C-alpha cells in the first residue's frame, strides 16, 4: 500500500496512450493498418468527389507516401485551439473533420467516428512529413514519434507544385510491430478494392526497389470486379447489381444519401467471393450490412419459390440454403457507422440491416419476376441445398437415436437437428427465460434457464461436477461430457453449434458470465477451442425517439454509455431537443418483452454476440491468472491485483 499513493496515478497526454498501448488502436503484426489510415483519408476525398487519382509509393528507405488530389488539409489556425489545423489533425486523438455529419459537413460519409486515424500513424512513425496544397499555398510540416520537429512552413504555390491535395510520407517505427515489412499483396488488394469502389478513380502503387508500377481503374465498378473474380466458375444466373440511395422523400427513418451498391451472383461450385465495405472501409468480418443483404436475398428467393410453387413437400427453406452458394460485393454508405474494434473489421450498426434490406429486397423481387427462368435456376440451387441439409440431419439423428440422454425438463429445445445452425442460450433467471422462449426462433434456437449463480467450478473435480444440478443440466443439454484440457474430447454428441451465455448487463450478470466461462474453460475446454462458446451482449439503454415530419417514431437500443452518448449527439444534430427524447435503462433481461429481446439480443442480424477464444498468453500463464482470479485460497493475491489494476476499469454499479 505504501507504493500506491497520489503520485502513482499517471495521466497520459497527447499521443502517449498510443505509444504505451498500440494494440488498442491498430494492428501490431505489421504497419499496414497505419498506412491504411492515410489511404482511407485519400479515398474519403475521392468519395466526396474531390480528385480522381490516389498514388501510393513504397520507397527504398522503408517509408511509404500517399498522395491525393483532394482539397488539402487546412493549414490555418483552429479558431478554438489556437494551433494550425494540420498539426491538430496529426497530434490530437479525437480531432478531425469527420465528426461534422450535418448537411454540408466536410465528410458526410466516412469510415467511422473513432477520430484517432492518422494521429496513430504519426505516433507510431519515426518520421512523418505532411504537405498540403490549397488556396494557392503549400504548407509543409514534419513530425518524429508524434512530435513536431520542423514547424509548419507556408509558402506561395509555385510551378511544379500540385494545385491541390495532400501528400503524407511516413516511416513506420519497427519497434511497435512484429514485422516491419508491409505485406505487398495485402496492400495491393486494398488499393484494388478502393479502385473498384471509386468508379473511375485511378489508384497507383509504385515500388521503388523494383521500379514496378501497378495501376487500377475500374469503369464497370462492382459487377466488373465480381465477374473477374468468378471468371472460372459456372454462374447459375446473370450477376444481379444495383446502386440505390435514400432521397429526401424517403420515409424509412434513414439519412439522405445513405445507401448501398451491390453485385450478387450464384455459382454451382467453388469457393465464394464475399467482400463488403462501409464508406470504402473493408469489413472482412462482415457485419450488419451483410446481414441486410442476406435477409433481403432470403426473403426474395423464398417469396419467388412460394409464388411459383417450386418447393417440394416437406422442404423448408432457410437463409443458409439460399446464401450458401452466393458470392457478392457490397458497398454501403452509412451516416454514423459503428464498428467493432479500432481496425473496423466488422460493422455493428443495427440500422444497416434495415437500410440494406430495404434497398435490395424490392429491387431483387423485381429482377426475379423479370428474369423468371434465371430465378427458377437460383431457386433450384437453394432447394438442392435444403434437401442435402435435410438428409444430413436425418443421418445424424439415426446415429444418435440409441444413446440420447433424457434432456433437462426446463430446456426448451429447437426443432432443427443441424448443429451448424442450432444455438442454445443459457439464460439468467426464469423471467428472462420466459421472454427468451417467446422471442426466440424455435426453428434453431433453444433456451435453458439457470437458477441463480452457477457453482464456481474452478477447483471442483470432474467426477463431482454432476452433484450440481445446473452443471448437470448444461452438460446433458449440450451433449458433451466434462473433460480436461489435455484430453481429445468426443464432440460428436454436440447438439448446438453456438452455446450463448445470456445474462443481465450489470455486475451480477457479469459475475454469472465469469462463473460460466470458468466452467467451460476448466471442464469443457474443447468447446472453447472449437469456437462453440459465445457471450451475448444485451443493451443497457433504450432511446425512444418521437416522430419528426415523415419519420415515424422509433426505438434505438444502446449497448453502453458511450453508445448512448453517440446516439444523443446524432439526434441533437437531427434537430431533436433533449426534453423530447426518453432514455430508459434496462435493469435486467426480465424487463424486456419477447419482441425487444428478439430484436436486441436473439436476432442473428441485429444482436451483438462475442465469440470466446483463448488469448495471447500461453496455457500456463492463463491457468495462473485463472487460479488467482477464481481460486478459493487466493483472496490475498486477488486483493493485491485489484489494488494494482483497479483504476483501469469503469464499474457500472
Catalytic residues: 428, 504, 506, 508
Residues in contact with 333: Cβ distance below 8 Å, sequence separation at least 6, in sequence order: 109, 245, 257, 258, 259, 260, 278, 279
Whole-angstrom CA distances from 535 to 107, 421, 509, 520 are 35, 17, 11, 12
The rounded distance, in Å, linking the Cα atoms of 146 and 166 is: 18
Residues 128/171, Cβ–Cβ less than 8 Å: yes
Task: State residue 622 phi and psi, 5-degree precision.
Answer: -65, -45
The C-alpha angle with vertex 327 and arms to 390 and 344, in degrees rounded to 5, equals 110
Residues 33/131, Cβ–Cβ less than 8 Å: no
Q: Are strands 240-245 and 259-266 parallel, antiparallel or unpaired?
A: antiparallel
Look up residue 12 and give its three cell numbers.
Answer: 497520459
The rounded distance, in Å, linking the Cα atoms of 198 and 275 is: 15
The rounded distance, in Å, linking the Cα atoms of 205 and 200 is: 16
Q: Any idea what DSSP says for residue 553?
A: P
Question: What is the DSSP code string of 347-373?
Answer: E--THHHHHHHHHHHHHHHHHHHHSHH
Residues in contact with 27: Cβ distance below 8 Å, sequence separation at least 6, in sequence order: 33, 343
The rounded distance, in Å, linking the Cα atoms of 6 and 26 is: 31
- How many other CB atoms are found less than 10 A from the CB of residue 525? 20
The rounded distance, in Å, linking the Cα atoms of 149 and 530 is: 50
Which helix (H) or strand (E) covers residue 386, if one does?
helix 372-400
Residue 636 burial (10 A CB sphere; 0-12, 13-18, 19+): exposed
Residue 482: left (phi > 0), alpha (psi -120 to 50), or beta? beta
Q: Any idea what DSSP says for residue 23?
A: G
Bridge partners (DSSP) listed for residue 84: 77
Q: Any idea what DSSP says for residue 271?
A: P
Q: How close are the terminal C-alpha atoms of the chain, in Å? A: 25
Bridge partners (DSSP) listed for residue 535: 501, 610
Q: Any idea what DSSP says for residue 138?
A: E
Question: What is the DSSP code string of 186-226?
Answer: HHHHHHHHHHHHSTT-EEEEEETTTTEEEEE--SSTHHHHH
Residues in contact with 312: Cβ distance below 8 Å, sequence separation at least 6, in sequence order: 383, 387
Residues 497/532, Cβ–Cβ less than 8 Å: yes
The C-alpha angle with vertex 219 and arms to 216 and 223, in degrees rounded to 5, equals 100
Bridge partners (DSSP) listed for residue 207: 58, 212
Q: Any idea what DSSP says for residue 5?
A: S
Look up residue 557 and give its three cell numbers.
Answer: 437500443
Task: State residue 378 phi and psi, 5-degree precision.
Answer: -65, -45
Task: State residue 547 phi and psi, 5-degree precision.
Answer: -70, 155
Number of residues in the chain: 653
The rounded distance, in Å, linking the Cα atoms of 220 and 200 is: 9
Residues 58/207, Cβ–Cβ less than 8 Å: yes
Amino acid at each position: 500500500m505504501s507504493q500506491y499513493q497520489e503520485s502513482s496515478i499517471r495521466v497520459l497526454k497527447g499521443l502517449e496512450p498510443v505509444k504505451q498501448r498500440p494494440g488498442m488502436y491498430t494492428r501490431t503484426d505489421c504497419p499496414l493498418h497505419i498506412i491504411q489510415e492515410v489511404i482511407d483519408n485519400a479515398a474519403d476525398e475521392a468519395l466526396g468527389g474531390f480528385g480522381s487519382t490516389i498514388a501510393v509509393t513504397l520507397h527504398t528507405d522503408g517509408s511509404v507516401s500517399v498522395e491525393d488530389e483532394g482539397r488539402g488539409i487546412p493549414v490555418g489556425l483552429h479558431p478554438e485551439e489556437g494551433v494550425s489545423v494540420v498539426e491538430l489533425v496529426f497530434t490530437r486523438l479525437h480531432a478531425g473533420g469527420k465528426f461534422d455529419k450535418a448537411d454540408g459537413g466536410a465528410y458526410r460519409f466516412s469510415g467511422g467516428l473513432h477520430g484517432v486515424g492518422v494521429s496513430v500513424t504519426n505516433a507510431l512513425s519515426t518520421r512523418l512529413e505532411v504537405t498540403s496544397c490549397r488556396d494557392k499555398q503549400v504548407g509543409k510540416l514534419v513530425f518524429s514519434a508524434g512530435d513536431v520537429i520542423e514547424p509548419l512552413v507556408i509558402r506561395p504555390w509555385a510551378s511544379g507544385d500540385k494545385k491541390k491535395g495532400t501528400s503524407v510520407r511516413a516511416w513506420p517505427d519497427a519497434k511497435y510491430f512484429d514485422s516491419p515489412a508491409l505485406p505487398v499483396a495485402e496492400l495491393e488488394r486494398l488499393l484494388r478494392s478502393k479502385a473498384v469502389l471509386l468508379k473511375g478513380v485511378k489508384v497507383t502503387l509504385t515500388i521503388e526497389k523494383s521500379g514496378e508500377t501497378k495501376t487500377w481503374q475500374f469503369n464497370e465498378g462492382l459487377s466488373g470486379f465480381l465477374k473477374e473474380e468468378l471468371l472460372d466458375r459456372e454462374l447459375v444466373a446473370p450477376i444481379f447489381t444495383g446502386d440505390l440511395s435514400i432521397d429526401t422523400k424517403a420515409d424509412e427513418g434513414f439519412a439522405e444519401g445513405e445507401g448501398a451498391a451491390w453485385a450478387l451472383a450464384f455459382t454451382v461450385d467453388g469457393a465464394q467471393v464475399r467482400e463488403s465495405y462501409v464508406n470504402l472501409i473493408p469489413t472482412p468480418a462482415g457485419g450488419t450490412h451483410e446481414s441486410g443483404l442476406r435477409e433481403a436475398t432470403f426473403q426474395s428467393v423464398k417469396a419467388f419459390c412460394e409464388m411459383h410453387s417450386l418447393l417440394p413437400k416437406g422442404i423448408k427453406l432457410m437463409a443458409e440454403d439460399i446464401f450458401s452458394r452466393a458470392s457478392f460485393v457490397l458497398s454501403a454508405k452509412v451516416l454514423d457507422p459503428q464498428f467493432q474494434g479500432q481496425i473496423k473489421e466488422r460493422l455493428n450498426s443495427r440500422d444497416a440491416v434495415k437500410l440494406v434490406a430495404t434497398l435490395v429486397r424490392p429491387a431483387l423481387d423485381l429482377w426475379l419476376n423479370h428474369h423468371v427462368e434465371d430465378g427458377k435456376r437460383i431457386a433450384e440451387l437453394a432447394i438442392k441445398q435444403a434437401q442435402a441439409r435435410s438428409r444430413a440431419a436425418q443421418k445424424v439423428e439415426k446415429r444418435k437415436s440409441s444413446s440420447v440422454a433424457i434432456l433437462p425438463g426446463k430446456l426448451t429445445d429447437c426443432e432443427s437437428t443441424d448443429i451448424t445452425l442450432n444455438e442454445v442460450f443459457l439464460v439468467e433467471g426464469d423471467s428472462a427465460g420466459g421472454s427468451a422462449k417467446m422471442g426466440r426462433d424455435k426453428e434453431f434456437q433453444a433456451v435453458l434457464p439457470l437458477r441463480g449463480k452457477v457453482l464456481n467450478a474452478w477447483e471442483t473435480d470432474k467426477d463431482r461436477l454432476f452433484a450440481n444440478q445446473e452443471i448437470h443440466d448444461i452438460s446433458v443439454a449440450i451433449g458433451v461430457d466434462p473433460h480436461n484440457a489435455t484430453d481429445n474430447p468426443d464432440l460428436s454428441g454436440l447438439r448446438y453449434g453456438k452455446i450463448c451465455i445470456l445474462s443481465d448487463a450489470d455486475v451480477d450478470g457479469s459475475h454469472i458470465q465469469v462463473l460460466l466461462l470458468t466452467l467451460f474453460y476448466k471442464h469443457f475446454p474443447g468447446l472453447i477451442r472449437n469456437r462453440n462458446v459465445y457471450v451475448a451482449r444485451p443493451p443497457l439503454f433504450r432511446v425512444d425517439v418521437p416522430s419528426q415530419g415523415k419519420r415515424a417514431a422509433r426505438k434505438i437500443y444502446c449497448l453502453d454509455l458511450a453508445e448512448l452518448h453517440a446516439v444523443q449527439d446524432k439526434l441533437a444534430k437531427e434537430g431533436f431537443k433533449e426534453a423530447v427524447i426518453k432514455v430508459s435503462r434496462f435493469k435486467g433481461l426480465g424487463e424486456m418483452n419477447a419482441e425487444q429481446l428478439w430484436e436486441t439480443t436473439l436476432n442473428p442480424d441485429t444482436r451483438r454476440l462475442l465469440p470466446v477464444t483463448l488469448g495471447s498468453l500461453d496455457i500456463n500463464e492463463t491457468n495462473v491468472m485463472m487460479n488467482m482470479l477464481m481460486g478459493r485460497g487466493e483472496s490475498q493475491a486477488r486483493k493485491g491485483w485489484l489494488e494494482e489494476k483497479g483504476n483501469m476499469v469503469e464499474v457500472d454499479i
